[in-house]
A and B are shown apart, each in its own frame.
Chain A
């Protein structure tokens, strides 16, 4: 058994997954970051500014809410970690605040990012506005059409949104374009990756910034129940940043069940799914070794999920290791199951979740927990961005 599930080794490997599979053109940038990120993050000035921004700007700590109606329905104790109450509406801001402070300390003035649904793009545009830095967000041409409100938010925040027109014109291609931009602007540009993916040290850096989620869960749960360890933590996984944050301080506690929920799409075997651990095989995507949805010839395939944030053909290497070692239990929820869970939460608790987070809630229908168990589910984002999908669902003849 390995020493820790939460941190990679020196070369960025979680078990056999991770590493930095990048062309030489990116080597100086990635190496500069690798050499400096821990020094920067652990410095007193960074910690002071990071914590103060998380508190006064992002609105942390976010509440750990005991969902009494949900608990009654499932006959267990369900706690919701309310990342949906963060500034910009999701956990993404925890990471972009951290990375913009790293970029600033490395002297970079030009920020690039990729985005799928636009949540990470908005969170990046937000911190760039805050710091007065140039911001360019790559977004698939198809996603730009589908996510007009978030495109408008980014523009209002002063970012330039550039369409990715290659391949399938979605998140995977936006990530390719962002990496190409970085190759072409090696000196002054910092790439703020939105999830625990990419070459080392990104997965580790992003996981550290998101780990504030489980750090808070520990003391909040202790305040409420007297125990700092829940029986299980549950989060949705696309690339897996909210899951990495939710699991971080619990993965090395064997008594805590780690439950990840992937997007089943129209069903794992339907040909329209984003359940990477179920459908993928070990491969390399966007600079790290992990599970990848691909053809037998090694061409990356397009996933499908009702939630743009989970619509990714890979998964962070930390999660790949949790899956491969059996430390994490990987479930999946279909589009329909996620919608059902979203409407249930709205009805029972008065909270409209993001479609991504609704996948995590759907786990309650798949696992029977004990009456006295404490179960923490990460409610990673709020549902405003998904109202169009919810409206279509309400209009659908039943």
Chain B
């Protein structure tokens, strides 16, 4: 059983998943941030692989990606940096990225190397369900990696159920149909999350996009198993020289 499944077996509420871009703000920040996140009580780390053309991301994460690329971050570099990270970090870690850099690395090589260092799952927003089923699912299963699909308020019930069936680990509920970091009225989000609850899906649901502080986190947790914070975290660690401390303070401000 991988770490994601184990986590959700032990804890179903208030799961905090923090997104950070690998190689941001400095090339070697990533492992320090991951340790700080674990120590301060984050439940899952979502590590973004920087890409030149991140279509599903808003301005904050785009900028962090460009900086990470300028810093020299690559998949190869990331795997080198994380080679022994399981000696220090025990919480689940999922990689989020776009398909193109992974295809160039070689999809199966990527999965093999990710699994070897102790990664638990993948989020690839531009990998369509159909291609996933035909070509990629068996590779992920071979390496025991979870694959997490996104659903949005516009996703039909039939499709939510299908994506839930294809997903493992958890389901990523985009809280508004928007690129990351945009704010929308939370009332509409509540309705949508209640609708998802009424489906009794097989996977836990984590809410992403638009969660930025203690209030929005606890609001989201009323209607889902937890939430993902990205842009607000990137902003918080980008303002200071003391990156690990800022990461810790940020997490504490959310869960304490």
Contact = CB atoms under 8 A, between A and B. Distances in A.
Do A and B come from the same complex?
yes
A22 B98 CA distance: 10
Contacts of A254: none
Contacts of A345: none
A183 B105 contact: no
Contact of B128 (A20, A176, A186): A20
Contacts of A286: 53, 55
A286 B52 CA distance: 12
Given A167-B53, A297-B74, A300-B52, A22 B128 contact: yes
B177 A297 contact: no
Interface in A258-307: 281-287, 292, 294, 296-300
A172 B62 CA distance: 14
B100 A19 contact: no
Given A11-B130, A284-B126, A297-B74, A23 B56 contact: yes
A19 B53 contact: no
A28 interface: yes
A283 B100 contact: yes
A24 B55 contact: no
B126 A22 contact: yes
A184 interface: yes
A20 B174 CA distance: 20
B241 interface: no
Contacts of A179: 55
A183 B131 contact: no
A4 to B, nearest CB: 22
B155 A27 contact: yes
Interface in A1-38: 11, 19-25, 27-28
Given A180-B179, A183-B56, A294 B104 contact: yes
B177 A19 contact: no
B19 interface: no
Give chain B's interface residue range (CB within 8 Å of chain A).
Answer: 35 or more
A299 B126 contact: no
Contact of B150 (A20, A24, A282): A24
B150 A23 contact: yes
Contact of B69 (A20, A24, A184, A299): A299
A166 interface: yes
A299 B52 contact: yes
A20 B99 CA distance: 12
Nearest to B75: A297
Nearest to B163: A24
Interface in B122-175: 125-128, 130-131, 149-152, 154-156, 159, 163, 174
Contacts of B126: 21-23, 284, 287
A166 B62 contact: yes
A171 B100 CA distance: 19
B105 to A, nearest CB: 7
Nearest to A179: B55
B165 to A, nearest CB: 15
B154 A285 contact: no
Contacts of B156: 28
A184 B103 contact: no
Interface in B206-232: none
Contact of B101 (A11, A20, A176, A299): A299
Given A283-B104, A285-B53, A298-B100, A25 B62 contact: no
Given A24-B150, A167-B66, A284-B103, A299 B177 contact: no
Contacts of A11: 130
B149 A19 contact: no
Contact of A24 (B58, B105, B151): B151
A127 to B, nearest CB: 26
Contacts of A285: 53, 100
Contacts of B55: 22-23, 176, 179-180, 183, 286
B254 interface: no
Contacts of B66: 166-167
Contacts of A298: 51, 100-105
Contact of B100 (A22, A24, A294): A294
Contacts of B100: 283-285, 292, 294, 298, 300
B182 interface: yes
B101 A297 contact: yes
A286 B54 CA distance: 10
Nearest to B159: A27
Contacts of A296: 104
B56 A186 contact: no
A284 B52 CA distance: 12
Contact of B125 (A24, A172, A180, A300): A24
B152 A25 contact: yes
Contacts of A25: 56, 150, 152, 154, 174, 177-179
B159 to A, nearest CB: 8
Contacts of B128: 19-22
Contacts of B52: 167, 299-300
Contacts of B104: 281, 283, 294, 296-298
A28 B101 contact: no
Contact of A184 (B53, B154, B177): B177
Interface in B2-51: 51
9 contacts: A25-B56, A25-B152, A25-B179, A28-B156, A167-B66, A284-B100, A286-B55, A298-B103, A299-B52
- CB-based closest 5 A-B pairs: A298-B101, A298-B104, A23-B125, A24-B150, A23-B56
